[in-house]
Amino acid sequence: MATNHKLIIGNCMSMEEIPDKAAHLMVTSPPYFNAPFDYKGLFKDYGQYLGVLRYFAKETYRVLQDGRIAVLNIDDMLIDGEKFPIGYLYEQK
Ligand SMILES: C[S@@+](CC[C@H](N)C(=O)[O-])C[C@H]1O[C@@H](n2cnc3c(N)ncnc32)[C@H](O)[C@@H]1O
């Protein structure tokens, strides 16, 4: 069976190229907020980082068909010795 593939270089916070409920699967490995080795200065603070993830989570929910799967490769964030469970963000309404 032939399949078609389209590569979009865009911003995950606003995926207007993708219609509502058009996707069957979303897999991502987003930047960590405070990984010491990369993305220096990408996020002004942890609040802004969470804002990016919230926009991205909303968009993911919009583009996925009902009952489909979102795969998020991410660790809890360690900030000043305190662990923040990022995954929980996606279980809240
Ligand atoms: C941990 S890396 C994942 C790399 C990818 N899994 C790979 O193997 O190349 C996170 C990626 O997210 C990208 N990124 C950061 N902010 C983004 C955004 N708002 N929209 C889309 N991608 C973003 C970064 O440029 C980086 O390539």
pLDDT in tens, the chain (93 residues): 999 989 999 999 999 999 999 999 999 999 888 776 777 888 898 889 999 999 999 999 999 999 999 999 988 888 888 888 887 765 544
Question: What is the value of pTM for the model shown?
Answer: 0.85
- Ligand 1 near 51 CB (within 6 A): no
CA of 12 to the centre of ligand 1 (A): 9
Non-local (6+) Cβ contacts of 63 within 8 A are 15, 18, 19, 20, 21, 22, 23, 26
Does the C-beta of 72 come closer than 6 Å to ligand 1?
no
**Index of the ligand 1 atom closest to the CA of residue 52:** 19
Nearest atom (ligand 1) to Cα of 38: 1
**What is the C-alpha separation between 91 and 93, in angstroms, rounded?**
7
